[in-house]
């Protein structure tokens, strides 16, 4: 079974630029999560989708972050404009349904200079 795929793996941008990350969940998984992991901290949930609907985006900085999951499969997370404090690893995870075991992708390491 293929795991959660993410791209790119690494990205370096200057502050005020925009960036987008892509995630392809495990086939058949209805729930998709985006997390932000700052160095030395545990992951923090940014947004959760159930199929193509948003379940929870209470910790998403909506003035600069946006995410979508068209057709209930792939998802993209965008940051526009980026700030220095957005430097982190962005992790995508999926699960069969809410409250089921989560499976994580390799993450995208973002450096904002």
Question: Looking up tokens 């940014």, which residue turns up?
Answer: 46
The one among 1, 27, 28, 40 contacting another protein by CB under 8 A: 40
Residues facing residue 22 across a β-bridge: 7, 76
The span from the CA of 92 to the CA of 99, in Å, is 16
Q: How far is the CB of 60 from another protein (least distance, A)?
A: 12
Residues facing residue 109 across a β-bridge: 10, 89
Q: Is 1 in the site for another protein (CB under 8 A)?
A: no
Q: Is 12 in the site for another protein (CB under 8 A)?
A: no
3-state secondary structure of 85: helix
Q: What is the dihedral of CA 1, 33, 99, 45, to 10 degrees?
A: 140
Span of 22-30, 34-42, 63-71, 79-87 interacting with another protein by CB under 8 A: 34-42
If binding means CB under 8 A, how many residues of this protein chain bind another protein? 24
Q: Is 25 in the site for another protein (CB under 8 A)?
A: no
Contacts with another protein, residue ranges (CB under 8 A): 4, 6, 33, 40-45, 48, 55-56, 91, 93, 98-99, 101-107, 109
């Amino acid at each position: 079974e293929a795991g959660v795929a993410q791209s790119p793996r690494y990205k370096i941008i200057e502050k005020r630029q925009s960036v987008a990350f892509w995630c392809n969940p495990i086939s058949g998984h209805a729930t998709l999560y985006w997390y932000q992991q700052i160095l030395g901290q545990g992951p923090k949930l940014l947004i959760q989708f159930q199929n193509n609907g948003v379940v929870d985006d209470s910790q998403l900085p909506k003035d600069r972050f946006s995410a979508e999951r068209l057709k209930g499969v792939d998802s993209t997370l965008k940051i526009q404009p980026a700030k220095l404090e957005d430097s982190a690893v962005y992790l995508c995870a999926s699960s069969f349904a809410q409250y089921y075991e989560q499976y994580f992708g390799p993450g995208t390491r973002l450096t904002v200079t």
